[in-house]
Amino acid sequence: MPLESAKDLAKKAHDFAAQDYDLRAVIIKKITRPIIIFTMLFILSGLLIWIVERSLDNANIVTLSDAYWWSLVTLSTVGFGDVVPISGYGRLIASAYIIVAVVFIAVVVTNIQDALRQYAILRDLGMTGNSMERHVIVCGWSRISKVCIPELLAAGRAVSVVCEDENQIKVVRQVGEEIGGNLFVTFGDMTKRGVLERVNIGHADSIIIATDEDTLNLIASLNIHSEHPELRVIVYVKQPELRKTFDASGVTYVASPFELGGRLVASAAFEPEVALLIDNVSSGIDGHDIQQFTVPEGGEIVGANVDSLRRDFLSMGGPLLIATGVPKKVGGWAVEPNPSGSTEIKAGMILIVLGHGDECSILSSDLGLIQGR
């Protein structure tokens, strides 16, 4: 049986990867089917040769163990010659068994080779999956993901990427090699459950849906939110008028870069320094960054107020507190910019700060706050 061409194997691997097939099941099925048939042939040949030979005079295949010893020796092509059929029917069975055995050995070896080659192709397509936890999943390779993936990796976050086009895999991996970090890339349809299971969505911290197709983004966000309601879902929207539709789908955050960019451009026309500040902070050009921290249960600042916290931050050379966030009763978060000085700090509250990286790191090292949420 000839080996499948690399082109045929690649096409099969492409079809498997695009769907939600179980990789191990596909490979095991390809290998085990001929092995099962071959095992049945081994058992049947031994049984037939025993039935034909056992009652003959001078027979040396008398017991089932003799028959299966002969079958095994014949199959292995060792040919000891200590146990052989002596009747015409026995030799006919032996001849047929040898011919069929040779063919099946070739089939088994060919299937194993094809399976190994197909596994290598599927592994390159990310079909082997990953075991990441508290990672960020990014679906789609677009202008947005080209920016956010390097940012996430540079921030030390583990990232799993689902590409819609297999040709994008090498490009994304190259980005990971240039920046470093924990990056996994796969290829497939992000609306398929099996594809999302490859990126271990059940243990992810959040997912960013960032294809250039708003319809596909909406379908994916609805499916993901319904199956993983606790997962943070961030969606990229090209058409700002669809924001309300996405908000109603239950996503955590809707990003409309064109809308945001338009406001920034308008601000630059009459408040250029404000626009410059926003641009510098968002890009981290001068080292400043906006970060958020979570107040843990039993934290030393629980019970304090915003005024005292700001004084503590100032005395220890920490960042500037610019906003707080508390969970809403109906889901989501309420963020209060420039909170009142009398606002009480509670466990689970979010503190949003502005400062250099080393200033922000003080909040974790000295006050025990948890970066992120």
**66 and 160 belong to one structural domain:** no
**Is the predicted pLDDT of residue 1 greater than 50, yes or no?**
no
Q: Would residue 263 count as lying in a domain?
A: no
- With residues binned 3-state (H G I as helix, E B as strand, rest as coil), the percentages for the chain, rounded to 5, are 50, 15, 35
Does 145 lie in the same domain as 117?
Answer: no
Q: What percent of the chain has pLDDT over 90?
A: 6
State which of 233, 255, 277 marks the end of a domain: 255
**370-371 and 320-327: which strand pairing?**
unpaired
Write out the residue range of the structural domain in which residue 172 sits: 136-255
Using CA atoms, how far apart are residues 360 and 327, in angstroms rounded to an integer? 23
Tell me the pLDDT tens digit for each residue of 337-352.
888 889 998 888 989 8
Q: Same domain for 95 and 167?
A: no
The mean pLDDT value for 160-177 works out to 87
365 burial class (0-12, 13-18, 19+ CB within 10 angstroms)? exposed
pLDDT recorded at residue 331:
63
**How many independent structural domains does the chain possess?**
3
Binned at pLDDT 50, 70 and 90, residue 79 comes out as low
Statement: residue 364 has pLDDT above 90:
no
119/210 same-domain check: no
Residues 225 and 251 in one domain: yes
Is residue 262 a part of any domain in this protein?
no
Tell whether 63 is covered by a domain: yes
Please report whether residue 261 resides in a domain: no
User: Of the given ranges (88-97, 100-109, 304-313, 362-371), which has the lowest mean pLDDT?
Assistant: 100-109
pLDDT at position 179 over 90: no
**Confidence tier at 26 by pLDDT (50, 70, 90):** low
Q: What is the mean pLDDT of residues 168-197?
A: 87
Residue 268 placed within a domain: no
**Of the candidates 72, 100, 124, which is a domain's last residue?**
124
Task: Indicate if 12 and 96 belong to the same structural domain.
Answer: yes
Find the angle CA(215)-CA(219)-CA(221) to the nearest 5 degrees: 115
* 204, part of any domain: yes
Task: Kindly state the helix (H) or strand (E) to which residue 214 belongs, with its residue range.
Answer: helix 214-227
- Who has greater pLDDT, 17 or 293? 293
- What CATH code is carried by the domain that includes residue 349? 3.30.70.1450
Amino acid 23: pLDDT: 58
| Predicted local distance difference test score (pLDDT) of residue 158 | 92
| pLDDT computed for residue 138 by the predictor | 94
CATH of the domain at 152: 3.40.50.720
Final residue of a domain: which of 78, 103, 124?
124
Q: Specify the length of the chain in residues.
A: 373
Q: What is the mean pLDDT of residues 11-23?
A: 52
Predicted local confidence at residue 130, as pLDDT: 82
For residues 169 and 102, membership in a common domain is answered with no
Q: Give yes or no for residue 264 having a pLDDT over 80.
A: no
Statement to judge: residues 106 and 147 lie in one domain: no
Q: Same domain for 116 and 146?
A: no
Tell me what percent of the residues of the chain surpass a pLDDT of 70: 89
**Residue 1 located in a structural domain:** no
Q: Does 251 lie in the same domain as 143?
A: yes
Q: Are 126 and 172 in contact (CB under 8 A)?
A: no
| pLDDT greater at residue 258 or residue 344 | 344
Same structural domain for residues 182 and 105? no
- Tell me, yes or no, whether 177 lies in a domain: yes
Decide: pTM greater than 0.85. no
Answer whether residue 11 shows pLDDT above 60: no
